Structure 1
Amino acid sequence: MPEITIPRTGSHLRKLFEILQAHPEGLQAGTALKQLAASVNLTPYEAGLYETVGTPRFEKIVRFATIDCVKAGWLVKNRGIWSVTEAGKKAFKDFPDPEAFYRKALQLYREWKASAPTAPQAKSLEELTPAESANVDASITYEKADEQAWSEIEAHLRAMPPYDLQDLVAGLLKALGYHIAWVSPPGKDGGIDIIAHTDPLGTQTPRIKVQVKGGSQRIDLQTLNSFLAVVDSGDVGLYVSVGGFTRDAEDSARKQTSRKVTLIDDERLVNLWIEAYDKLDQKSRQRLPLSPIYFLTPED
Structure 2
Amino acid sequence: MAEITRRRTGELLRELFKILMAAPDGVRAREALQELSVRVNLTPYEADSFESGGRRFDKIVRFATVDCVKAGWMVKDKGIWSVTDEGRAAYAELIDPEAFYKRACKLYAEWKAAQPDAEPNTAANTSAAVSVEEAENTAKAVSVTFEEAEEQAWTEISQYLRAMNPYDFQDLVADLLRAMSYHVTWVSPPGKDGGLDILAWPDVLGTRPPRIKVQVKRQQQSVNVDGLRSFMALLGEDDVGLFVCTGGFTKDADAEARTQEKRRVTLIGLEKLFDLWEEHYDKLTDRARRRLPLRSIQFLAPGG
- Whichever residue aligns with residue 261 of structure 1, its letter is V
Percent of aligned pairs with the same residue?
57
1:265 matched to 2:264? The reply is no
1:173 matched to 2:177? The reply is yes
1:78 matched to 2:82? The reply is no
Q: Which runs of 5+ in 2 are unaligned?
A: 122-129
1:287 is paired with a residue of what secondary structure? coil
- Whichever residue aligns with residue 241 of structure 1, its letter is C
Quick check: 2:66–2:143 contact (8 Å CA) kept in 1?
Answer: no
Name 2:33's counterpart in structure 1: 33
Name 1:124's counterpart in structure 2: none
The offset of 1:119, in angstroms, is 5.2
Q: Which runs of 5+ in 1 are unaligned?
A: 122-126
Decide which of 200, 208, 215 is 1:196's aligned counterpart. 200
The Cα offsets for residues 221-265 of structure 1, whole Å up to 9 and x where unpaired, read as 222121111111111111111222222222222222221111211
Name 1:220's counterpart in structure 2: 224
The offset of 1:132, in angstroms, is 4.4
What TM-score does the superposition give when structure 2 sets the normalisation length? 0.89
Give the Cα separation in 2 of the matches to 1:163 and 1:105.
48
1:262 is paired with a residue of what secondary structure? strand
Give the Cα separation in 1 of the matches to 2:110 and 2:145.
26
Matches within 5 A, 1:1-300: 2-50=2-50, 54-116=53-115, 118=117, 130-300=134-304
- Whichever residue aligns with residue 6 of structure 1, its letter is R
- Whichever residue aligns with residue 286 of structure 1, its letter is R
Aligned-residue CA RMSD in angstroms? 2.3
The Cα offsets for residues 27-53 of structure 1, whole Å up to 9 and x where unpaired, read as 1111211221222111122123455x5
1:41 is paired with a residue of what secondary structure? coil
The Cα offsets for residues 148-172 of structure 1, whole Å up to 9 and x where unpaired, read as 0011111111111211111110111
- Whichever residue aligns with residue 279 of structure 1, its letter is K
Give the Cα separation in 2 of the matches to 1:218 and 1:145.
27
Range with bigger deviation, 162-171 or 270-279:
270-279
Give the Cα separation in 2 of the matches to 1:247 and 1:115.
37
Give the Cα separation in 2 of the matches to 1:119 and 1:46.
32
Change beyond 3 A, Cα 1:55–1:135: farther
The offset of 1:129, in angstroms, is 5.1
The offset of 1:279, in angstroms, is 2.4
Give the Cα separation in 2 of the matches to 1:139 and 1:111.
17
The Cα offsets for residues 56-79 of structure 1, whole Å up to 9 and x where unpaired, read as 321221111111111222111001
Change beyond 3 A, Cα 1:112–1:278: closer
Quick check: 1:194–1:209 contact (8 Å CA) kept in 2?
Answer: yes
- Whichever residue aligns with residue 66 of structure 1, its letter is T
Quick check: 1:25–1:83 contact (8 Å CA) kept in 2?
Answer: yes
Give the Cα separation in 2 of the matches to 1:5 and 1:227.
55
2:254 is paired with a residue of what secondary structure? helix
Quick check: 2:78–2:150 contact (8 Å CA) kept in 1?
Answer: yes
Quick check: 1:119–1:299 contact (8 Å CA) kept in 2?
Answer: no
- Whichever residue aligns with residue 24 of structure 1, its letter is P
1:11 is paired with a residue of what secondary structure? helix
Give the Cα separation in 2 of the matches to 1:129 and 1:93.
29
Range with bigger deviation, 1-10 or 79-88:
1-10
Quick check: 1:159–1:215 contact (8 Å CA) kept in 2?
Answer: no
- Whichever residue aligns with residue 271 of structure 1, its letter is D
- Whichever residue aligns with residue 12 of structure 1, its letter is L
Change beyond 3 A, Cα 1:32–1:119: farther
Give the Cα separation in 1 of the matches to 2:142 and 2:183.
44
Give the Cα separation in 1 of the matches to 2:219 and 2:141.
35
Paired residues, number: 295
Range with bigger deviation, 288-297 or 19-28:
19-28
